[in-house]
Structure formats: structure tokens, C-alpha cells
Structure 1
């Protein structure tokens, strides 16, 4: 994907919070965290990671140091409030059973990664791997990535996490790609979650392309930004090929007008 800069407009980009990553894994029942299986899963699937150090299990909390980051897993013997999950579950077009699976969970694991020495993407990649380890070795019924917010089935999350790298970011796990149908039959797509990386959200508004095509385009545009930084200025064009050029505008959101977003004009 390439871009051509036309003009520059200064926009206050959202700033990410301190380098703390949080996610939750919903559980069908509350059981002690399987320390041995969980750490083995990390080594088996990502052999480039060093072994965990300073491993401690105190009550319902398992903590360790991994690749310079402090990891804390806390078993919460109560469900996530349904008010937090209802919207993401209803919007989970990629997981039709989300509401059914999540509504009956009885406990959850809060996963926290504090990585002051890493950049934001490296922190989120490490968090993704730890969450996958939890989802694979417990009675998991779902994964809630609150910064989207987006929910995923445990098996889908684990399989996607195994394929991730710095070059292949798991944006379907990190971002919500919110689709809505307009009265005239067109579709609007808005991302949610880019702000956690310090970027404005993306919107593709009132378009007649198929929803799958819009999601694919938004994925590629978001990946480009995370790869290259906030290089897309108001009036730039971007495309996947020399023949394809889409204009970028910095405009108020069609979904939340108080925010400025990247609007992709197809």
C-alpha cells in the first residue's frame, strides 16, 4: 500500500495510555489457573519468547516476568457485567453465537501486561499471546478485548494469535469493525480501538460496496497506519496498487461528531 502526500493539516492525535495492556477471558466456571500448562503453551507456540521468570501464584493471582514485561493474571470469581459485553456481543457479526456463549459465563480472568520498555504494538502482541495461552488452557467461553471493544470465540482468538507477527498484526482481535446499514441501502463502517494506539479512528461512509469488502479495506488502511505511523494527512490519497487511489479526509465522525476521524473516500 502506498500513499501520496497532497497537503498537511495539523490534527491533535489521541494519545495512548501508559504502556499497559488489558484484556479478559470469560470462563464457564471458576477454576485455579493452570500455571504449568499456560507457561508451556507460550513456549510451545512462540519459542522465540524467553522463559517466564519470577513466577508466583498467590491465591487467585498468577504473576511472572516475560520478555521484560510484568504479566498478571487474576481469576475473578464473578462474571463481567453484562452491560459491558452486550454491545460488543450484539455487534459481533464474525461470531453469531457471541451473546449465547457469553451471557452464561460465571467467572473471568483479567490479563494485564505492563511493558514500559516496549512500544505499544509490541505490548499488544505480547498481551495477545498471553491471552491466547489463557483461552487455550482454561474453560474459556470468550475473549473480551476492551479497547475495541470486541469479543471473539476462544478457538478463533487462539488460532489467529498463533499466526500473528509484527508484519501480520491481529487487527480483527484488537479492533471493532462496526458495520451499519443506512436507510438508502448503503453501508457505513467505523473502527473502534485505533485510539488505544494513538491514532484517529477510520470511517468509510455511505458506500455500496459489500460489507466484506469494506472490512477488508478498513483492515488494510488500519494496518498501514500502525506500520508507518500517522503519515496520512488531510487530502492525501492511498491505494493498494498504482491504479487505486482513495482520498483521506480529517473530518468529524459520522458516528460521534465530537471526534475527528480519518474518512476514506472510495
Structure 2
């Protein structure tokens, strides 16, 4: 049975991403485990290691770290790099990876915030103890440079979530208007959000969308059609639920 196969009737929802390695076989697993224990105070109940794969059991979660001795095939990384504005020269730099590591929480789906924090902790430990370039989470179109990912991780807690490591914030500018949307809130069982055709600057849109996304994820809130939201006692932004402008399906539109 392969590492990503499952037995029985238990419903599982693997969470996975990939670490891009500039140098083959460069993960120092002993140091990864030490960082998880010492820096994050995690208890590893079990560890299995084979030539290409390690499996860690942390707080009931089975976490697979599988080394793939090839680059990610096709143009997937190049396409993601073109969208990810936080990684300047991402197309050129990410294309230098020689191998990739598949990092998966194989039995995720119980507590989305807890699982994303755990994934982030393990990913950061791998980045710290390998010749890595960055992290790729294809299901959220995220391709993040190593230093950026680690900087967002430094102050991570359940009250201070590193959303830029977890959710893609798309920016659009058309006919003198600015728009922003989320891609990844669905993985937290929340509707994606859009602000469309705003006169606000991209900086203002980025700040308020990050704060709203952080609020709904950290506080486990479901926003609904017809409600209002604000980042202060006096701010009341109208919410509507309708067909997405930049995303498939329906999204929450925030009037701002």
C-alpha cells in the first residue's frame, strides 16, 4: 500500500503541498524532528523512515514527507509563479528546483486551523533544514519563497494566523478600478470573498481583505448575504452572495 492510500471506512481529507528543493536529498530529518520538538513543543508519538519517505505521528495526525527525485512536471510551477506577486523573479528562481518533497497530513479534515498550523510548522522545519527554495500549494495557487514563508511563520499562533502562507489574495485592476479576491477560504469551509471594482487603492484592499479573512478563519464565522461587516465599531460594509466575478461558483461580495 502506498503512503497516500487509506484503508477502512474513515473519511479522510489529505492536506498536501510541496517543498521545492534546489539540492537533491538535502533534508536533514533529525534536525527537522528536533525543531518540531524544541521550537514548537510538539510530541512525536511515532516516526517511520524509509529511503524516500518519513511518516511522523503528531497529535493523532499522520504526516508523510515523501522525497520525489524529479522536478514538478510540466509548466505548473511557472504558471503559479506568474500569479504570485510576493515572489519577485519567482519564475526564474523556482524553476531551479531539482527535486520536490510532497508534504501531506494524510488524515486531515477535523480542525482546519489546527491542521494548517501543523502543516506550516512541519513545512517551516523542512525549509530550515534543507536546500529548499520555497513552498507550493497547488490547490490554492500558492507559490511562496522560503524567506517569505518563514517570516510569516515566526509569530504564528491561533490568534495570529499566517494567512499569506495559507490563502491566495488575487489582485486585479481594470478600467481604473481595483479588485481583490480570496482563493483558499473554501478549504476552511468558508465562502470565498471578493471586492469588485473599488476606488480604493490596492494597499487598502489588501489590508481590509486580509483582516476580514483572518476574522472569519480565526473566529470560525460564516458571513451571510444581507449582513454587514466592519473592521471598526462604525464601519459597516454590505455583504451580498452571488455568482463570482473572478472565481467559479458563488462568492461573498464586500462593498468597499
Normalising by structure 2, we get a TM-score of 0.90
> Would you identify which runs of 4 or more consecutive aligned residues in structure 1 move more than 6 Å?
none
Cα distance between partner residues in 1 of 2:199 and 2:221: 28
How many residue pairs get aligned? The number is 246
Q: Who is 1:45 aligned against?
A: 39
Larger RCO, structures 1/2 (Cα 8 Å, 6+ apart): 1
Alignment deviations for residues 156-208 of structure 1 (CA, whole Å, 9 cap, x no partner): 212212311111111101111111110x2111111111111112111010112
- 1:107–1:222 Cα change, 3 Å: same
Q: CA deviation at 1:217?
A: 0.9
Q: Who is 1:240 aligned against?
A: 231
Instruction: Specify every segment of 5 or more residues in structure 2 that has no aligned partner in the other structure, as ranges.
Output: 1-10
Normalising by structure 1, we get a TM-score of 0.87
Cα distance between partner residues in 2 of 1:85 and 1:214: 27
Instruction: Specify every segment of 5 or more residues in structure 1 that has no aligned partner in the other structure, as ranges.
Output: 1-16
Q: Who is 1:78 aligned against?
A: 70
Q: CA deviation at 1:230?
A: 4.5
Q: Residue 17 of structure 2 contacts residue 138 of structure 2 at CA under 8 Å; is this kept in 1? A: yes
Q: 1:157 aligns with which of 143, 146, 149?
A: 149
**Equivalences for 1:22-33 in 2 at 5 Å?**
22-31=16-25, 33=27
Q: CA deviation at 1:144?
A: 0.6
Q: Residue 82 of structure 1 contacts residue 103 of structure 1 at CA under 8 Å; is this kept in 2? A: no
| RMSD, aligned α-carbons | 1.7
Q: CA deviation at 1:229?
A: 3.2
Cα distance between partner residues in 2 of 1:43 and 1:132: 13
Q: 1:224 aligns with which of 200, 215, 220?
A: 215
- 1:261–1:83 Cα change, 3 Å: same
